[in-house]
Structures are given as C-alpha cells and as structure tokens.
Amino acid sequence: MSRYTQTTDDTHEPALRSWLDSANVCECDFPIQNLPFGRFRQSEDSEWSIGVAIGDQVLDLRKAALVDISAMNELMQLPARTRKALRAAISRGLAFGSAQEGSFRTALRPMSDVELGLPCEIGDYTDFYTSIYHATTVGKQFRPENPLLPNYKWVPIGYHGRGSSILPSGREFHRPRGQIKEPSKDAPVLAASTRLDYELEIGIFIGRPNPLGEPIPIESAEEHIFGLTLFNDWSARDLQPWEYQPLGPFLSKNFASSVSPWMVTLDALEPFRKPFARPVDDPQPLPYLDSSANRARGAIDVDLEVWLQTEKMRAAGYPGDRLMRSNFADAYWTAAQLVAHHTVNGCNLIQGDLLGSGTLSGAAPEQGGSLLELSDGGKKKISLSNSETRTFLLDGDTVILRGSCERDGFARIGFGECRGTVLPPRSVP
C-alpha cells in the first residue's frame, strides 16, 4: 500500500513513470496514474473496442490480453474489486521497466489515428441540480426574494433527460427550434432559439446495476459508479420558460448534450477526495443520504473550466478564451447521494446509465457555469479577447469543457476535453 493515504495504492505513486514517453510529459491529462476507460474504432465500418488512455495513445485492452470482454458495458458491470485489479494490471504493464512492454506496445494506437466515440452505450439519462450557487443565481432572475425553492436543501432535484441525443465530444449539432413565448405577446411562435447556452457538468456513469425494487444504500453507492466524465447539457433558454411548467424541461434540453470520451474511474480519483459538509445553519441530509464515509470523503476535487472558440477565432488559428472556472467539490450533493436518492424508491439503474450533476457554478459571479449566469440573463455582454462579444451562443461557436485534479504529493490527472460546435438551424419541413 502507498504511504500517502489509506485509500490509495501503488498505482497513485507520483514517482511512477511509463515506458511511453508521452505519458510522462508535464501537464499530460493521461499519465500512468490516471488510466481512464473509453471506446475507440479504426473506421466507421469497424466495431468499437475497449481502450484506456495513456499519454497520446489508446491501449487496446483485448489486444493487450487484459480482458476477454468485447463490450464496454459488460466490463462496467464487473465488481469494484475486479475493476481495481484490472487497473493495477494495466499500470504494471505500462510502468517503466515492465516485462510486458513489448506486448503492450503492439496494442497501442495513436489517439489521432482512431475515432473516439461515446465512452459506453448510454442507457437512461438523469440530470440533477447539485450546484446551490447555480440554483441561487438563476433563481434570483425569476424570484429575487426567494431564489431557492423550499425543497432544494432537502432533496437532490433531478429530471429524466433524453439519452438518444447525447453526442460524443467533437460532434456538431444544429441550433434547435421550438415554441417561444415573448412576455409581451399573446401567443407563442415556432422559431429557432436565439438564447442558446451551454451547461458545465460532470457526468456520472453507472457500472453495477441494481434490481428493480432494491434501493442502493449510500454506504455502497460508489460500488455502482464506474467513473466520471465531462458533460455539456446544451440548453435553449428561450424555449425553457414557456415549456417547463408544470412538468419541467423538454425541447429546451433534449436536442443535444455532449460527453467526453473518457471515464475517469473512482480509483484514479482517490487522492483527490475531500470531506463533504453542509453549512451549520442548513438542514442536514436525511439518514438515507448520510454516512460517515460520505462525510469524510464524499466530495471530489475536480477543477473545471469552460472555453469558447468563436468562428472568427478558429479562422485565425486562435484556440479560444477561457470564460470561467469552478470545482466539482462545491456541489451541494455528492455522487453517492445522487445514486442513493435515485434508487430509494426502487428505481433500477443499469450499466451505462448517466447521471448529470447539473450546472457546476462557483460562489463568485465570474464562476457561473452557463452564459445565463455570466450574462445575467442576457443583460450583460461578455467581452472576448478579439473584441467580439456574447450574451448567448452564435452559429459557429465551439464550447470546450476541461477538467483536472491536482494535489501536493500526487500526479496531476485530467479528463481530456468535451467539445461541441453550434451549426445553423435546419429548415422546418
């Protein structure tokens, strides 16, 4: 066991190096201490393969004789101890001086030469609302005197989203249309959204299923989580207010969401755990949402960023501007609490189900996880470095989400990118 914490092991050792040079580069998202899982293929005609990111390469787990499973969702169901053993075997094979270097090298593929898709077959998708800062800021735009609804501090708020429209990172999507009702008008019109927005989120992928009717206790909730990703829940803010009452978001949310190609496992995130605590004046979680382990280490320190690259920036070869930073550890509910609450009524989660954290904003105004917050509902223009301005997204804009974990005494690990580009709306048939 490592000397660093009780929950880390030799795979987290900061001095560990790989025989693959690109994995040892400073600020690399995928050093040997990370080893996130995803899927790749050589061409559109080939089948998806299970891969692990290492440096600028993808390790084909079947070619490396590490698994005899061909489907990622099958691997995700493995017990936590089996997944931990697989991670250790991958680490040993990639480590500098490994006797397996020769066989592993034949199983490597450059990321630039393969297609990275959705990290698994996605089943259902549930989006939560875990940032109290986001909920408060947005609530003030509609209810200045009472921004938080009475249930917010008691129950993890969520709604059932649309899994079929979740896109892999890098995919473009068309600006949505829907009914828009201006406050001064008597009737809505069908039109393309002009208040298109992003939402900075963490995605939580379920690995181990639970049978219908059997809640998952919070004490074992993390055994059912396979890993975390970056997630962008694109939102049409002008469709949303007209449709969301009484049943919640619909066309304003289900036209597209983007997810990064790599699932960073909870094992890789062990060094970046933090205590979870509520303000003393806030109601404490009900017993089914509380445990000693969740209080001691339920939060995860993931630094998050949103970047915007406009069409003009892209034409000039400029990578874009960073719009904000926030941290997953500031969420009002933990990943374990989301799983426990989702299943307390007997709901059965299956491998590949995705839980979105909801927009992850910080306490400061400049830490808004959406343009709705940064532009104060479209009232304030956001100035970009090339003299362009934005309140909401324009056609041709690319939004890039990034995430990373850093802590003294451990290697930095990253999540890669979650990227998506807005195309003009399609014509109505």
3-state DSSP call for residue 288? Answer: helix
160, 193 contact by CB (below 8 A):
no
What digits encode the pLDDT tens for the residues 125-141? 999 999 999 999 999 99
What digits encode the pLDDT tens for the residues 234-256? 999 999 999 998 999 999 999 99
3-state DSSP call for residue 10? Answer: helix
What digits encode the pLDDT tens for the residues 150-164? 999 999 999 999 999
Sequence-distant (≥ 6) Cβ neighbours of residue 324 within 8 angstroms: 200, 305, 306, 362, 366, 367, 368, 369, 374
* Beta strand segments in 291-380, E: 299-300, 303-309, 321-327, 354-356
Say if residue 26 is exposed, middle or buried (CB neighbours under 10 Å; 0-12, 13-18, 19+): exposed
Report the distance separating Cα 380 and Cα 336, nearest Å.
37
Q: Which two tokens stand for residue 380?
A: 């304030």
Report the distance separating Cα 418 and Cα 272, nearest Å.
21
Q: How confident is the model at residue 326 (pLDDT cuts 50, 70, 90)?
A: very high
pLDDT for residue 309: 98
Q: How confident is the model at residue 3 (pLDDT cuts 50, 70, 90)?
A: very low
What digits encode the pLDDT tens for the residues 217-236? 999 999 999 999 999 999 99
pLDDT at 4 over 80: no
Torsion of CA 141, 259, 401, 195, to 10 degrees: -40
pLDDT for residue 146: 87
94, 59 contact by CB (below 8 A):
yes
204, 355 contact by CB (below 8 A):
yes
Report the distance separating Cα 149 and Cα 163, nearest Å.
27
71: how many CB neighbours lie within 10 A of its CB? 17
pLDDT at 2 over 50: no
Q: How many helices (H) and strands (E) does the chain have?
A: 9, 26
Report the distance separating Cα 193 and Cα 417, nearest Å.
26
Measured CA to CA in angstroms, residue 232 lies from 169, 299, 399, 414 at distances of 9, 21, 9, 17
pLDDT at 174 over 50: yes
Tell me the mean pLDDT in the region 361-371: 98
pLDDT at 429 over 80: no
Q: Which residue has the higher pLDDT, 366 or 142?
A: 366
pLDDT for residue 1: 29
Say if residue 107 is exposed, middle or buried (CB neighbours under 10 Å; 0-12, 13-18, 19+): buried
Q: How confident is the model at residue 357 (pLDDT cuts 50, 70, 90)?
A: very high
Strand partners, 308: 321, 399
Q: What is the pTM of this model?
A: 0.96
Report the distance separating Cα 371 and Cα 393, nearest Å.
8
381: how many CB neighbours lie within 10 A of its CB? 11
66, 98 contact by CB (below 8 A):
no
pLDDT at 323 over 60: yes
pLDDT at 5 over 60: no
Which residues form the catalytic set?
A: 134
Domains, the chain: 10-116 (2.30.30.230), 125-423 (3.90.850.10)
Q: b/e for 73-98, b at 16 or more Cβ within 10 A?
A: bebbbbebeebbebbebbbebbbeee
pLDDT for residue 6: 55
Return the DSSP state at 410.
Answer: S
Tell me the mean pLDDT in the region 204-229: 98
Percentage of the chain surpassing pLDDT 90?
Answer: 94
245: how many CB neighbours lie within 10 A of its CB? 7
Sign, CA dihedral 19-272-340-262, equals negative
Percentage of the chain surpassing pLDDT 70?
Answer: 98
